Amino acid sequence: TSRLVVVGASLAGLRAVEAARRTGYDGPLTLVGAEPHLPYDRPPLSKEFLAPAPQPPEPPTHRAEHSLRAELDVDLRLGTAATGVDTAARVLHLDDGRLPYTGLIIATGATARQLPNTPELAGVHTLRTVEDAHRVRAELDAGARNVVVVGAGFIGSEVAAAVRKRGLPVTVVEMAPVPLVRAIGEQMGSACARLHERHGTDLRCGVGVAGLEAGEGTDRVERVRLTDGSTLDADVVVVGTGAAPATGWLAGSGLEIDDGVVCDETLATGAPGVYAAGDVARWTNPAFGERMRLEHWTTTAEQGAAAARNALRPVEAQPFETVPYFWSDWYEHRLQFIGVPTAEEVRVVTGDTDSESFLALYRQGDRVVGALGLNERKLVMKFRRLIATRTSWRDGLDYVEGTR
């Protein structure tokens, strides 16, 4: 008989079990998750969750336990880690036993990168789980005096915005010349740098962290040493230097791992019945003919569902094609990016980058490949379809012109 097993009980895993039942599959369905919690949303953890409030908000849970167990008839194994997989025997190894499968979806996501070669000190945090968010929030509630954020990516930038919203000083240290360079490119990254500066965030780009120092006779961080020889006072350090795909448990499985679980266009790994989805998956995206591993909420949700459909009907497996999309909230502003940032030209087509709203389009050859919006929610979303349908640069510009 068949058994679909999903490893990782977060967004990709949740969407996988939901989609499995929607396809009409009524066989055994198991969801294994290392965290003790029901699937919860991570985006609020670096946003609303850090705002001052008498009680920290509960992280939004997608589905109550009852509905997962009773309505979807999911065999829920929370607080259980997968430790390996025997793809020839089709058996998943768990820290408390083994689980045979006919279809397996790997949805183990990613874990926050730590600062290399630094001592473990109190006051130093990463931000990936709800426990991490509680710890960062508690530091802010306790009245942090000097917050240093390492990395001006999404999470680092959102934390900086949350700290400023509380009226506390914050310094952001970023190795690259501008924030978000890999995600949106240098030109728009510098617009984001100015956004930080306008809100009183002390942004130090082109410099890295050389070390952390504890206060005299304590194990609490007191100073951050930078690669240019300078130092920053710090009683709280939040490390936002990215996430690494959670593939350690797959060592020796024979699955191809290369910064993620390598998949074909249908999200299938090389092993029979084994698929991957979410932050852990690196697959060939037919929309761009490129191998990608995305760390975005929307793609993860779509991929979890697609992997389940394909795992249940491998013969009719469909390629998973998507135009990447993410949003990020900075100081009451919504930043959104659609597509890919590799471009020969980036042109601001509405507003200007020093104002409170603008839209920029990214051109590669004669195609629009990307769109970045600040407080341009509706317009930017239109480009998800326009980019998916391979709209030309000219037509993209005309489209924006026509909306005015």
Considering beta carbons, is residue 249 or 393 the nearer one to ligand FAD?
249
Provide the mask over 191-230, with x wherever binding to ligand FAD is found by CB under 6 A and - wherever it is not: ----------------------------------------
Binding status of residue 384 toward ligand FAD by CB under 6 A: no
Which of 130, 191, 193, 140 has the alpha carbon at shortest distance from 165? 140
Residue count at the site for ligand FAD (CB under 6 A)?
A: 37
> What does the alpha-carbon distance between residue 194 and residue 330 come to, in Å, rounded to a whole number?
12
Minimum distance between the CB of residue 36 and ligand FAD, rounded to whole angstroms?
Answer: 9
Listed ranges 207-215, 283-291, 296-304, 330-338: which one lies at the site for ligand FAD (CB under 6 A): 296-304
Indicate the DSSP class of residue 45: G
Considering beta carbons, is residue 101 or 249 the nearer one to ligand FAD?
249
Binding status of residue 128 toward ligand FAD by CB under 6 A: yes
Of 275, 288, 326, 362, the residue at the interface with ligand FAD (CB under 6 A) is 326
Considering beta carbons, is residue 6 or 287 the nearer one to ligand FAD?
6
Q: Which residue has the tokens 């010349």?
A: 177
Contact, 366 vs 392, CB < 8 A?
yes
Minimum distance between the CB of residue 32 and ligand FAD, rounded to whole angstroms?
Answer: 5
Binding status of residue 9 toward ligand FAD by CB under 6 A: yes
Considering beta carbons, is residue 103 or 109 the nearer one to ligand FAD?
109
Contact, 127 vs 262, CB < 8 A?
no
Helix (H, G, I), strand (E, B) or coil at 235: coil
Structural tokens at position 42 = 């991570």
Distance of CA 4 to the CA centre of its chain: 25
Of 25, 30, 31, 43, the residue at the interface with ligand FAD (CB under 6 A) is 43
Buried/exposed 297-332: b ≥16 CB within 10 Å, e otherwise:
bbbbbbbbbbbbbbbbeeeebeebebbbbbbbbbbe
Return the residues of window 14-33 that contact ligand FAD according to CB under 6 A: 32-33
Greatest pairwise CA separation for the chain in angstroms: 65
Of 4, 5, 6, 10, the residue at the interface with ligand FAD (CB under 6 A) is 10
Buried/exposed 359-369: b ≥16 CB within 10 Å, e otherwise:
bbbbbbeebbb
Contact, 224 vs 215, CB < 8 A?
no
Binding status of residue 249 toward ligand FAD by CB under 6 A: yes
Binding status of residue 238 toward ligand FAD by CB under 6 A: no
Binding status of residue 11 toward ligand FAD by CB under 6 A: yes
Binding status of residue 110 toward ligand FAD by CB under 6 A: yes
Binding status of residue 330 toward ligand FAD by CB under 6 A: no
Structural tokens at position 190 = 């510098």
Listed ranges 61-69, 101-109, 200-208, 230-238: which one lies at the site for ligand FAD (CB under 6 A): 101-109
Helix (H, G, I), strand (E, B) or coil at 5: strand
Helix (H, G, I), strand (E, B) or coil at 399: helix
Helix (H, G, I), strand (E, B) or coil at 307: helix
Distance set, CA 393 to CA 41, 345, 374, 397 (Å): 36, 10, 20, 6
Of 42, 90, 137, 293, the residue at the interface with ligand FAD (CB under 6 A) is 42
Of 118, 300, 310, 322, the residue at the interface with ligand FAD (CB under 6 A) is 300
Distance of CA 382 to the CA centre of its chain: 22
Of 17, 50, 74, 82, the residue at the interface with ligand FAD (CB under 6 A) is 82
Q: Footprint of ligand FAD on this chain (CB under 6 A)? A: 7-13, 32-35, 42-43, 45-46, 81-82, 107-110, 127-128, 155, 246, 249, 278-280, 295-298, 300, 326-328
